Structure 1
Amino acid sequence: MGSHDCHVFMQRLLPVGIRHLLPKCAEANHLVIQFFSQLTAKTLRRTDMFQLRHDIVQVLCKFEMIFPPAFFTSMMHVMVHLPEEALLAGPASRRAEKSVRNRAKPEGSIVEAWVQYESLTFCGMYLKDVETAFNRPQRNNDGGMRKEKLSVFSQSARPFGDPGRGESFSRNDMEVAHWFVLNNCDEIMAYLDEHEEMMKREHPSHLVAQKQVNKLKSSNSPTYSDELYNLAFGPIRAELFSGCYINGVKFLGAARDDKLCSKTAVSMSQVERKYKH
């Protein structure tokens, strides 16, 4: 019999045949057959899967009242996890047909595919310096946390595409961007508190911070670093990329995003403003 014939025999004809031969098992067998009929359907509903997850426990309890403990092997316990697997991975028929390479012998193709998958999975755990499913980077890998000491330079983000020409900031944009970075760097909060009274709120300027950093540099202070110097003197120009990977999410630039149906050219940073200018 083919695979389809087996399903018809098990789910349609068998309940009728054993109804009079095994009257004690008729109800439990009917519930199991109904369970697999709904589980192997082409279309699954989440509400049905939640109900099956609850019903299969009661079905196994009915079997425990009929059969001895030796009957309940690991294969019987697998039925408890099948509704949860269907909720996570979808219909079983759709997952199985991905492994079919030979349409004339689908069952053998599925078995061979699973043997290959389990063999590669087992061997992949012991292979060194070889890219496997266990050590393969994510598709939208952002490069992880960087090794810079200051938090503002150690954010996980990786731009992609060829960088465009450098865009110069206007004076107003530069001051706003610079202040945004300075006000969100925990390592320099002590300097901001120290010079809070010296900063001119009407005409913001970071010359005080620059003089302080130059003083630390000339005195060979251990708190001085190149990152702190770059942070104090602010940005010079901006590089334009076609997109960026941030926290496993791919963001496209507006020029490329306008051509797509799904919009991803949105990235937001929350900040609390401490000083008013």
Structure 2
Amino acid sequence: MLERFFPPSFFDVMVHLTIHLGREARLCGPVQYRWMYPFERYMKVLKGYVMNRARPEGCMAERYLAEECALLCSKYIKQAADIGSRNARNEEFENGLLLEGRPISQGKRIILTNEMLQVAHRQVLFNMAEVQPYIEMHLDELRHSNRRLLKNETLLQKKHVESFGTWLDAKIRAEEMVHNVSNTLKWLAREPSRYAVSYSGFVINGLRFHTKEFEKSRQDSGVSLEATTICISSARDNTPVTGKVAYYGVLREVIVLSYHEFYIALFKCDWASIVNGIKLDDGFTLVNLHEGQSQFERDPFILASQAKQVFYSREDETSSWYVVMKAPPKGFQDLEISDEMESGTSTPFDVSRLDYDDNEDEQYVRMDVDGMFFDE
């Protein structure tokens, strides 16, 4: 049937193979249980052991035994890498620091201004699980201390953001005199050191990020965040609504704060305006990365652990709008196993169960197109 429409040069061995693959999988089951590729690949490993071509078998045996002994000893050595296994490119291995994630560039020591230090510290406090009970406690105290704050939620949140850091420090110092407080909470209540370290690359959650300034052939600077925030229609809105909002931006700097006993990584980003910098068009999310980015100049930080990676594709050379594209981390597979696959078997299929009608008179001709004749 295919020969009616394709020239003879089309039918090489690969095209011939596809004719049989479907029927072979149906008869024999999944191919990974019966193919020769793993054995052929391991034969390449064994050939790599040969250093003396006059004695190939001896080279393979000695190298194999030496590798087995080294692998056994490595099981009893801390932080020893397994022989023959490759580390994932974006793996967060132990780096000697009490830090989630790991830097992948040379660090540069910087000094934060008072304003930036306060903003970064506030971002850390409002996103740490240990601090959440104290956030509710502070809000309750503000509501009971001022009736105006009880009625105006917007004013309450503003007052809460401005005074929470100082209130928490005094609260933790008072609790230390009564009972023991965890070291994490103790150091979080105090401000971090104004001496921080800046990086241009960072790996966290299986994702590899680079700042916009240092990326060349890569597109690793796109950052997105879905946060629960308070939405208000105007400054006079006394009944704000809490909902989830998606933020999109570009990574400008990775800053690692020192809380003396542990470290926390923050991403400093240029964020697109959520008012007129994000729009939906034909099912695609478009982001304006060139205009209206002053909305978050005074609050550019997020925790590195909160960041999700996105990629931007520009509409055209003159447009300031970019299409947002998402991709899973490298090495990540989201396999949706259906009931059919779960109940499947790897044993060969019983050929006698096939309903095969060998009718030689049946014509394999398409009736919806006209036939074509070729002269020799």
- TM-score normalised by L of structure 1: 0.50
- Which is richer in helix? 1
- Which is richer in strand? 2
- TM-score normalised by L of structure 2: 0.39
